[in-house]
Amino acid sequence: MKRLFSYFGLALLMVLLTGVLAAAAPMPNVDFTLVQGLPDTMHVGDTYTVVVDVTSDVPFNSVLAMPNPQYPGKGVVPVKGGDHAGAGTSATVEVTFTAKSAPDRLPGGKDVMSVVVGVRYKGGVVIAQEFPFEVTVLP
């Protein structure tokens, strides 16, 4: 019985210390700056690149930018899967889109998509920002 309480006490101490250590680590301050977004109107065949600058007060492991289309394969489509950058405190990531479909294939002739940028830190902490766009696609 005494051993059970000592294991319980040890487990309780570990939980408390974990909470104290986690609370002591401040969250990084991350600035996501949209340098260039998508225009409000694109013609079929037009290509534009979304550019996002990321700066952090704490070194990160990596930065990832991914397209998030509402109508995959229609309207405005990403040219490639996304972009990434390695470790540091600042990075620039880009996602390029091409207008593919005429407006008759999209509700209201508009395509809705976004670019999601995530920053990964040691310990598995991820901070993300979404940049939404609504583009009218013209023939």
Q: Residue 103 above 80 pLDDT?
A: no
In a domain, 125, yes or no: yes
Judge whether 4 lies within some domain: no
Contacts of 47 (CB under 8 A, 6+ apart): 79, 96, 97, 98, 99
CATH of the domain at 114: 2.60.40.10
Q: What is the 3-state secondary structure (H, E, C) of 70-84?
A: CCCCCCEEECCCCEE
Would you say residue 88 lies in a domain?
Answer: yes
Show the domain range for 93.
27-138
% of the chain with per-residue pLDDT over 90: 61
Which whole number is the average pLDDT over 86-114?
Answer: 87
The pTM is what?
0.79
In a domain, 76, yes or no: yes
Kindly list the strands in the beta sheet with 76-78, ordered across the sheet, starting from the edge strand earlier in the chain.
30-36, 47-60, 88-99, 76-78
- The answer to whether position 6 is within a domain reads no
Higher-confidence residue: 131 or 108?
131
110 or 11, higher pLDDT = 110
